[in-house]
Amino acid sequence: MKKDMTDALHLKPGFRSYGSYLDELTPDDVYNGLVGFGMLSNKIPPALSSEAFLAYCQKEDHSFWDHWCPWIRLRYMRNVDDYRDFGIPNPFAYELLSAHIRDHWDEIKSALKKNTDADPYVVNKVHIRKLHNSSAIFDMNYSNWRTDYRPLPTLLVGKRYAVSCDISKCFPSIYIHAVDWAIRGKKVAKQNTRNRKGSKSSWSAKLDKLLSNTTYGETHGILIGPHASNIVSELILTSVDKKVMDKGFRFERAIDDYSCYVETYEQAEEFIFALDGALQEYGLALNQRKTKIEELPNAMSSSWVRKLRGFGLPSNELTYRDVSAFLDFSIETMKEANDNRAVLLYAMKAISHHSLSYGARKYYLDMGLHLICLYSYLMPNAEDLLFKPCHIQSDRLGIFLETMYDQGLKRRDFLTSTFSLYYAMRYDIKVASFVDTKENMIQSGDCLLLLFAWLYARENKEQSIENKLYNKAKTLAADDESFGRNWLFVYEVLNSNELSGSDWEAIKKYGVSFINYGILKGKSMVNDLED
């Protein structure tokens, strides 16, 4: 394809390439970010942290056992009435993977730069980078594009058609051996694997092996949640990007979502063909249901975002009428957007950032609790969206948390039940049904729910339930795979001499906990509503 307006991006003052963001990160930045702030998914209660484990790894000599490790399988409610699986890796397998990434950060940067340096702009809108006010190196949002230059307007110049598509089940479909293919080339990597020559000395082959350790030896799929997965996926996806770019196409990518702009319908079809072919080389495929070609012009933001922004909430204190009208409008907009719960999250964030009159606060609290009960997708944000801005009363909060706890158990939405117990401990609230539903909770088999139930039982002196959960942990510890699938619960409950394996015993004796009790026990958080 001929040159287009994207070449002008090279000339933009202050423009930064993909590789320039990587150059800001030292190997230690990467390691600390991955181990201390990128092992545990942001989908779980913030009282869980791997910072203490990082401190151990930094201060103590250690040589963790290099082997296949089971991982904790979890799921969360998405914004479209569906669940998505995610995982928490074995900490030792993950540390070995992170240390290898640190030790070969220059080679990884080189591989990523090779795929991106010829690009006139940053293709991926969400990527590894040094974050402000955070030791993490990855955040799943687009806020950086408020300050980074976004090339979309330039990409649109002279174009008549837009192509949108995404990768079908991207992370669960990644073939782990394809990481080595992306770095060394498929032919070389496969040949070295067959004859076992050169593979031992290859850092990319070692990366392949350490990555498979985190997935219990499974070769298809990498874990959703840990930030190391985002680095690994970029090695493959930037290779895909380069193959498509080399054919003359210019596009944006947001993790696994592509947007391309072309002059003709035929070029749109060619882009789809080129992208699908490049993905297939690495064992990936397009989601055909979500692939579409549209004639330009298109709006640059979702219609529901524009509608909510255009509603015109006053900048001063919101009244009952303001909140009532805006929530009604938001609910209607959500339904028009195929029940996309992200509409409600956006609307409630907007309200929570305003000062509220007494009447507005009471109405917003009632409606907010109602909406969260209907859409548990909102539950992880309930504290910032509702509890704090509305100064919720403790008795009201107790009824709500009991409702959500029971509802989560009945629907097998265990993360909602987990968050209910987390908030209960944080606000010193009693969940009245906790004792009556103990058998359902124990039988759930959900690692996080078992952990927070044990913490709640211990905090509230429910000795019989605490003992039951202790016995559950002992039973799980007796089987290596069961232990591995529930390591976070078992590790926190048992003493060092009850843990199998020298690595677990060592970090336990050192005092490592994956629970931040300062966050968990946020006492005196509740302020009564004004009379």
Mean pLDDT of 159-187: 93
Nearest Cα residue to 348 out of 362, 367, 373, 320: 367
Integer distance in angstroms from the first to the last C-alpha of the chain?
Answer: 69
Q: What was the pLDDT predicted at 529? A: 41
Mean pLDDT of 384-413: 96
pLDDT in tens, 448-460: 999 999 999 999 9
Cα 426 from Cα 517, distance rounded (Å): 10
Q: For residue 531, is pLDDT > 50?
A: no
pLDDT above 90 coverage of the chain, percent:
76
Evaluate if pTM is beyond 0.75.
yes
What letter does residue 530 receive in the DSSP assignment? Answer: P
Q: For the chain, give the mean pLDDT.
A: 90
3-state secondary structure at position 515: strand
Q: For residue 199, is pLDDT > 50?
A: no
Say if residues 432 and 406 touch (Cβ distance below 8 Å): no
pLDDT in tens, 479-511: 999 999 999 999 999 999 999 778 999 999 999
3-state secondary structure at position 151: coil
Strand order in the sheet with 161-166: 251-254, 257-262, 161-166, 292-295
124-138, 149-163, 193-207, 208-222: which range is least confident on average? 193-207
Would you place residue 438 in the very low, low, confident or very high pLDDT band (cuts 50, 70, 90)? very high
Delimit the domains of the chain by residue range. Answer: 5-39+89-295, 301-390
Rounded to the nearest 5 percent, the helix, strand and coil shares of the chain are 55, 10, 35
Mean pLDDT of 100-104: 97
The CA radius of gyration of the chain, in Å to the nearest whole number, is 25
Nearest Cα residue to 50 out of 105, 82, 90: 90
For residues 515 and 81, the model is more confident at 515
180-194, 245-259, 285-299, 491-505: which range is least confident on average? 180-194
Q: Parallel, antiparallel, or unpaired for β 83-88 and 72-77?
A: antiparallel
Q: What was the pLDDT predicted at 11? A: 44
Mean pLDDT of 171-189: 91
Q: For residue 323, is pLDDT > 80?
A: yes
43-52, 221-230, 255-264, 516-525: which range is least confident on average? 516-525
Q: What was the pLDDT predicted at 522? A: 75
Extract the runs of DSSP E, i.e. beta strands, from 273-377: 292-295
Cis ω on the peptide bond leading into residue 297 (within 30° of 0)? Answer: yes
94-98, 144-148, 469-473: which range is least confident on average? 144-148
